[in-house]
């Protein structure tokens, strides 16, 4: 019986062979990740073990990104715990403010994750790294503590679903639209504890940034992980960047999938997730004319350079609607610097946007963009639960950077073509 891509990677990292879905295994872990919300709890648990050091100081990654720059004393204390732990145990990959970025954009950028890896992170969007052909999943803080100590983690081998995308994308349709459409199709529990494997000619044409966006949001369908096979786009991204040699695995032609879905992307227009679930998805045409108070462009989902380029293309020479607040936060310092060099940040500021240092703050309703009661936001982030970005009676709509930028100009949810014409991105 053939194996899926996820099964092959897990099998490579454990003693057991011929893995089957549902089997409980213990795997070696290549990278263990924590942030300023989850790592302090893991550190407390780790210190209680009474051991001398982490399993490998080069493979533990600590990124303060959620409440930094510190928004209050509690946030400063959390960051201090991480900083002291990193110094105590000589953690090489600790990224201080000014050097950091949003963790799930930073690790691929720095080459810390590569194809064939097993990655765990005490953050649900760790699944992002499946875009690189890695098995990557979120865990709890106590699991992170155990992995920092032992370098190993227990998993139940997930069943797999296969998603096949074919056809040519319409103008302004991105990876964000494809994953929103998919989640809308299967629901927020449609891939519960399953691997979502993406393939097809339309996937092969996607940039790495688009793939990272799609893998990032697989958790919104309940998935254990999302994953793409390594191709030339992956190899080109990893070349000169990956700190370890990639290990390429491929699903067997007779691999067993519990379900397959096939999508003609030529029939998919830009998508909007309505409040208050990422699965409440409709075409942008059904959302147009909904008034908004705030637009957020950024996050680990859509804060990469290509996302900012698309938004700047639409905003160039235009102004943000006077009734709208536009907040832009590049996902890493390198992205920020490149956007500065390209004149992208100047476009945003000239249009009337506020540009932020990298932070998760607006996405999780932590700081730098909180919504008041009754306010409505359109965001390129990944979640829109009640209260996600502020007051429980505020509303969040999810969309691509193109839709977000166009909507910031008009003051209401808008198809990008209505502002920038039919020109493709």
Residue with tokens 């780790």: 46
What's the confidence (pLDDT) of residue 388? 95
Q: Quick check: is 409 in a domain? A: yes
CB 224 within 8 A of CB 189: no
Q: Look at residue 38 and tell me if it is in a domain.
A: yes
Last residue of a domain, one of 209, 239, 263: 263
Q: Are residues 179 and 328 in the same domain?
A: no
Q: What is the pLDDT of residues 127-178, one digit of tens each?
A: 999 999 999 999 999 999 999 999 999 999 999 999 999 999 999 999 999 9
Residues 6+ apart with CB under 8 A from 77: none
pLDDT in tens, 215-269: 999 999 999 999 999 999 999 999 999 999 999 999 999 999 999 999 999 999 9
Q: Encode burial over 328-361: b for 16+ CB neighbours within 10 A, e otherwise.
A: bbbbbbbbbebbeeeebbebbeebbbebbbbbbb
Q: Is the pLDDT of residue 425 over 70?
A: no
- The mean predicted confidence, pLDDT, of the chain is 96
Q: Is pLDDT at 11 greater than 70 in this prediction?
A: yes
Q: What is the DSSP letter of 279?
A: T
| pLDDT given for residue 424 in this prediction | 57
Of 263, 281, 301, which closes a domain? 263
CATH of residue 221: 3.30.499.10
Q: Could you give phi then psi for residue 35, rounded to 5 degrees? A: -120, -175
Angstrom distance (rounded) from CA 256 to CA 251? 9
Is 122 found in the same domain as 194? yes
Q: Domain check: are 291 and 167 in the same one?
A: no
pLDDT of 66 = 96
pLDDT of 89 higher than 60: yes
> Alpha-carbon torsion 39, 40, 42, 46, what sign?
positive
How many domains, the chain? 2
Please enumerate in sequence order all residues whose Cβ is within 8 A of that of 201, keeping only pairs 6 or more positions apart, or say none. 165, 166, 167
Residue 95 has pLDDT above 70, yes or no: yes
What are φ and ψ of residue 159, in 5° steps? Answer: -65, 165
Give me the sheet containing 354-355, strands edge to edge: 281-283, 271-273, 395-398, 376-379, 294-298, 325-329, 354-355
421: confidence class by pLDDT, cuts 50, 70, 90? confident
Q: Which two tokens stand for residue 299?
A: 């996050």
Residues 332 and 242 in one domain: no
Range of the domain at 52: 5-263
Q: How far apart are CA 127 and CA 396, in angstroms?
A: 22
> Secondary structure of 68-117 in the HEC alphabet?
CCCCCHHHHHHHHHHHHHHHHCCCCEECCCCCCECHHHHHHHHCCCCCCC
Identify which has the larger pLDDT, 422 or 8. Answer: 8
Q: Is residue 422 part of a domain?
A: no
Percent above pLDDT 70 for the chain: 99
pLDDT number for residue 423: 64
Residues 40 and 95 in one domain: yes
Alpha-carbon gap, residue 413 to 32, rounded angstroms:
39
Interval 267-276 mean pLDDT:
97
The reported pLDDT for the residue numbered 17 is: 87
> Which pLDDT does position 1 carry in this prediction?
76
Average of per-residue pLDDT across 384-404: 97
Task: Clarify whether residues 216 and 297 are in a common domain.
Answer: no
Q: Which of 263, 284, 308 is the C-terminal boundary of a domain?
A: 263
**pLDDT bracket for residue 393 (50, 70, 90):** very high
Same structural domain, 286 and 258: no
Q: Is residue 396 part of a domain?
A: yes
Specify if 425 maps to a domain: no
Percent of the chain whose predicted confidence (pLDDT) is above 90:
97
DSSP 307: H
* Residue among 167, 150, 159 nearest 51 (CA): 150
């Amino acid at each position: 019986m053939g194996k899926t891509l996820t099964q092959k990677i897990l099998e490579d990292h454990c003693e057991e062979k011929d893995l089957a879905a549902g089997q409980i295994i213990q795997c070696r872990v290549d990278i263990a990740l924590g942030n300023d919300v989850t790592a302090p709890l893991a550190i407390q648990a780790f210190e209680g073990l009474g051991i001398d050091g982490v399993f490998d100081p080069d493979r533990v990654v600590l990124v303060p990104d959620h409440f930094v720059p510190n928004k209050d004393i509690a946030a400063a204390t959390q960051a201090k715990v991480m900083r002291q732990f990193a110094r105590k145990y000589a953690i090489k990959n600790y990224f201080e403010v000014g050097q950091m970025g949003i963790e799930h954009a930073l690790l691929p950028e720095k080459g810390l994750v590569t194809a064939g890896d097993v990655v765990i992170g005490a953050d649900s969007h760790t699944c992002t790294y499946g875009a690189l052909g890695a098995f990557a999943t979120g865990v709890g803080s106590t699991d992170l503590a155990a992995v920092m100590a032992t370098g190993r983690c227990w998993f139940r081998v997930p069943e797999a679903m296969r998603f096949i995308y074919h056809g040519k994308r319409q103008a302004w349709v991105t990876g964000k639209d494809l994953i929103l459409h998919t989640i809308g199709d299967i629901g927020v529990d449609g891939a519960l504890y399953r691997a979502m494997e993406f393939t097809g000619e339309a996937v092969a044409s996607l940039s790495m940034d688009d793939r990272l966006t799609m893998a990032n949001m697989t958790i919104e369908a309940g998935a254990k992980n999302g994953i793409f096979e390594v191709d030339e786009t992956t190899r080109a991204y990893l070349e000169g960047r990956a700190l370890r040699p990639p290990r390429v695995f491929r699903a067997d032609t007779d691999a067993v999938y519990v379900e397959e879905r096939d999508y003609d992307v030529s029939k998919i227009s830009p998508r909007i997730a309505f409040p208050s679930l990422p699965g409440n998805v409709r075409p942008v045409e059904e959302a147009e004319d909904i008034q908004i108070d705030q637009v957020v462009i950024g996050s680990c989902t859509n804060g990469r350079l290509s996302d900012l380029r698309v938004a700047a293309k639409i905003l160039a020479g235009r102004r943000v609607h006077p009734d709208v607040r536009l907040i832009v936060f590049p996902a890493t310092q390198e992205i920020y610097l490149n956007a500065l060099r390209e004149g992208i940040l100047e476009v945003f500021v000239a249009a009337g946007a506020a540009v932020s240092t990298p932070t998760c703050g607006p996405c999780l309703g932590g700081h730098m963009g909180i919504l008041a009661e009754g306010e409505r936001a359109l965001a390129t982030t990944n979640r829109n639960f009640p209260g996600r970005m502020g007051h429980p009676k505020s509303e969040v709509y999810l969309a691509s950077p193109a839709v977000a930028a166009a909507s910031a100009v008009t003051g209401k949810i808008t198809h990008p073509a209505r502002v920038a014409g039919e020109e493709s991105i």
